[in-house]
Structure 1
Amino acid sequence: MISSEDHARLSQAIREAEDLTTGEIVVVVSEQASSYRSFPVLWALLAALVVPWPLIAITTLGPARIFLIQLLVALFLSIFLSFPSRRHALVPRFIKRARARETARREFLGRGLTRTRERTGVLIYVALAEHHAEIMADTGIADRVGPEVWRGIVDELTDRIREGRLTDGLVAAVRRTGAILAEHAPPRFDDVDELPNKVFVL
């Protein structure tokens, strides 16, 4: 998803942004927020439940044969729908969004963004399969910056991703986030770099 050159470019952008603030920026890009492995099975079982009705109406097959056909349909559809592109197509958008937001919250906690000295950590999270991007800020920044500001950055980022310019979008998002942090959390004389300056790819 991200080449070694792009990793270096993003790390440099994070370092430059954090030089102007006490805030910490973490970038996480995941290929998908969830595997959704249960959805092919769910749809296959629902289809198998429908199968007997037309067979009962238009054939003289006995219960044992119909049950066998149900099993075969369920097995075939479970395998057929398990390929990633088909599997993702089965998942409702609101579930994809919920899974992506849940993963973003988990990454926010897991990457130490709630443990910075002044609670000024910011996560930029992208889930590519779900077409979802999100920015989460800890209380030291969230109390000072409204959600509409982050939404503007996310909108620009998702536009770049749709154009196939993931790294460009992330670099721009890091720079804009850094400018906001510089305004609301300017650097201190004793400031230290608390978190790694790199993009995490899942």
Structure 2
Amino acid sequence: MTLLTQDEQQQVAEAIDRIEQHTDAEVVTVLAAQADDYHYIPLLWAGLAALLLPGILVVLTGWLSSGWLLLTQWLTFIVLALVFRMPGVTTRLIPRSVRHWRACNLAHRQFIQLGLHHTSDATGMLIFVSEAERYVEIMVDRGISQRIDDSVWESIIADFTAHVRQGKTLEGFLVCIDACGAELRQAVPATHERNELPNRLVILS
């Protein structure tokens, strides 16, 4: 998985600069390689398989000594734990709900850690992407949510998510930022010059 290059990150920063000239919103973008390392997932599935396999063998063969039972369980656990740790395999073992839950938690933590809830007019906006989970979220503070309904962001998020699935993360960012800028320009127009938060793309690798 390749995150954006320095030149691509600069393009994102410049896009934020452009829209912030016309709105009081403070926009911050975050790109994460993945929301969690999911180390426990391979162990969980390997352990479950190790518990079930002996029972299946007993049904099929009708016999399995206690010594072979223990050996079979250990070998099953070790082999599958190693196989399931392969990135391509691990991703398929994680339920979509779990992946999105972890990504959502990370997005909320970033909103707080980056100070988006402390802007002077409560006009912070976070555009968050986690590539491994194919997850996109837009979070706004009350100064924006009181003027723009959350449903407005749904189509923007859906479009961005489609770009991420196609491996077009940069294009997704630029389209998303411009779309958000159009909404912010109307609902939260610029009243004075300011830049409380950095416009650079925050990378979580």
TM-score, scaled to structure 2: 0.92
**C-alpha displacement at 1:65, in angstroms?**
2.2
In the TM superposition, what whole-angstrom CA distance separates every residue of 1:106-127 from its partner, at most 9, and x where no partner exists? 1111111101000101111111
Between Structure 1 and Structure 2, how many residues are aligned?
201
Q: Which residue of 50, 53, 56 maps to 1:51?
A: 53
Q: List aligned pairs for 1:10-159, cutoff 5 A.
A: 10-57=12-59, 58=61, 60-159=63-162
Structure 1 counterpart of 2:172:
169
Deviations, residues 4-57 of structure 1 (Å, cap 9, x unaligned): 111111111111111111111111111111111111111111111112223334
Secondary structure of residue in 2 paired with 1:159 = helix
Q: How big is the shift at 1:141?
A: 0.5
CA contact (8 A) 1:33 1:99 kept: yes
1:185 partnered with 2:188: yes
Q: Using the alignment, how far apart are the partners of 1:52 and 1:165 within structure 2?
A: 46
CA contact (8 A) 1:45 1:74 kept: yes
Give the Å deviation of 1:182.
2.0
Structure 2, unaligned stretches of length 5 or more? none
Cα displacement (A) at 1:179: 2.2
Q: Structure 2: which amino acid aligns with 1:105?
A: H
How many Å separate the matches in 2 of 1:185 and 1:118? Answer: 10
| Structure 2 Cα separation of the partners of residues 86 and 15 of structure 1 | 40
User: 1:64 is aligned with what amino acid?
Assistant: G
Query: What is the Cα deviation at residue 60 of structure 1?
Result: 4.5
Q: Secondary structure at the match of 2:171?
A: helix
The C-alpha deviation readout for 1:107-156, integer Å capped at 9, x for no partner, is 11111110100010111111111111111111110121112210111122
Code of the residue aligned with 1:46 in structure 2: it is: L
How does the TM-score come out when normalised to structure 1?
Answer: 0.93
CA 1:163 to 1:63, structure 2 compared with 1: closer, same or farther past 3 Å? closer
Kept after mapping to 2: 8 A contact 1:55/1:66: no
Stretches (4+) displaced over 3 A: 54-57
Q: Is the 8 A contact 1:31 1:128 kept in 2?
A: yes
Structure 1 residues 163, 62: CA separation in 2 closer, same or farther (over 3 Å shift)? closer
Report the 3-state secondary structure (helix = DSSP H, G, I; strand = E; otherwise coil) of the residue aligned with 2:202: strand
Cα RMSD of the aligned pairs, angstroms, is: 1.4
